[in-house]
Amino acid sequence: MRGKVKGFLLTDTGKVREHNEDAIGSDPDIGLYVLADGMGGYNAGEVASGIAVKTIVNLVREAFQVQELRGVDRDTGLMRPSIILRDAILRANKIIHQTSKTQPQCEGMGTTVVAVLFYDNRAIVAHVGDSRLYRLRNDRFEQLTLDHSLLQELVDRGFYSAEEAARSTNKNYVTRALGVEATVEVEIKEYPVAKGDLYVLCSDGLSDMVEDDDIHLTISTFNDNLEMVLRQVVQLANEHGGRDNISVIMTQVIDWFPARRSILDKILGWFG
């Protein structure tokens, strides 16, 4: 995946919090990027987010390595990439929940998570909670994930419009998070990619502080330098108050990345 998708990551404590409870991580070789926003207990939020990112990256990497060693195509062999990603998140949920039950200082901790896995010219997106993923394509900037939050549920039920929700001060009541319960529902979707696509993963420390249009404008202004874009959007969040930790991952599709096909697939293709 190196040379096919480029990614840049940045996290910042913000202007109000004493420590950073966000965590970010990636494995560029397999096209995986993960962001988590922890919560609960003294320093426990950063424990939860750290467990989430480390567990997801390690398990997805290990699953792909096993299937590569066996010479099995990821789509037609042992397990689809979307299932690998989902199961890694479920495992992270179990570890966080068990830790919160056995370590008094971690009681009540949890974390949101958003992840993207690039595979076979697709972006596989998984999330739990209100950390978000956006996509910029052909100058259209759109949110691909829907928050698992009380506010979003009220929007879905027609109690608020999207514009009213954007102005609401009650944005942070999540209805789903890793570690809170023994089980959790992971939302997963797949999107075909296009060359030049830009995907933005962020914690609510950015999305609560900076309007989507301003994020889009910043990207458009500094679009030739993603590292500069990262620094600028984080600076903008801090200028608007920096009330929470701010984490952002930006990934851009540089070239196509079709999956390698097994010999059987190729033979079947000849007769297709």
3-state secondary structure string across 109-129: CEEEEEEEEEECCEEEEEEEC
Number of structural domains, the chain?
1
pLDDT at 259: 87
Residues in the chain: 272
Q: Hey, is 60 helix, strand or coil? A: helix
Is 193 inside any structural domain? yes
Count CB atoms within 10 A of the CB of residue 58. 15
CA 5 and chain centroid, separation:
15
Is 267 inside any structural domain? no
Is 234 inside any structural domain? yes
pLDDT confidence tier of residue 166, bands split at 50, 70 and 90: low
Supply the DSSP string of 63-107, one letter for each residue: HHHHHHHTT--TTTSS--HHHHHHHHHHHHHHHHHHHHHH-GGGT
Give the span between the Cα atoms of 143 and 40, in whole angstroms: 27
What angle, rounded to 10 degrees, do the helices at 226-239 and 212-221 form? 140
pLDDT confidence tier of residue 146, bands split at 50, 70 and 90: very high
Q: Computed from CA positions of residues 48, 52, 53, 54, in that sequence, does the dihedral angle turn out positive or negative? A: positive
Is 265 inside any structural domain? no
For 31-87, write each residue's pLDDT tens digit.
999 999 999 866 799 999 999 999 999 999 999 988 776 655 444 455 799 999 999
Count CB atoms within 10 A of the CB of residue 108. 13
Task: Return all residues near 117 (Cβ < 8 A) that are at least 6 apart.
Answer: 30, 31, 32, 33, 60, 81, 82, 85, 123, 124, 126
For 122-133, write each residue's pLDDT tens digit.
999 999 999 999
Mean pLDDT of all residues belonging to the chain: 89
Q: Computed from CA positions of residues 82, 86, 91, 96, in that sequence, does the dihedral angle turn out positive or negative? A: positive
192 token code pair: 């075909």
Is 270 inside any structural domain? no
Torsion of CA 5, 6, 12, 14, to 10 degrees: -70
For 214-240, write each residue's pLDDT tens digit.
999 999 999 889 999 999 999 999 999
Question: Does residue 258 carry a pLDDT above 70?
Answer: yes
pTM of the model: 0.90
**Domain limits at 57?**
5-256
Is 59 inside any structural domain? yes
Is 150 inside any structural domain? yes
CATH number, domain with residue 14 = 3.60.40.10
- Let me know the angle formed at the C-alpha of 133 by 109 and 100, rounded to the nearest 5 degrees: 10
Is 197 inside any structural domain? yes
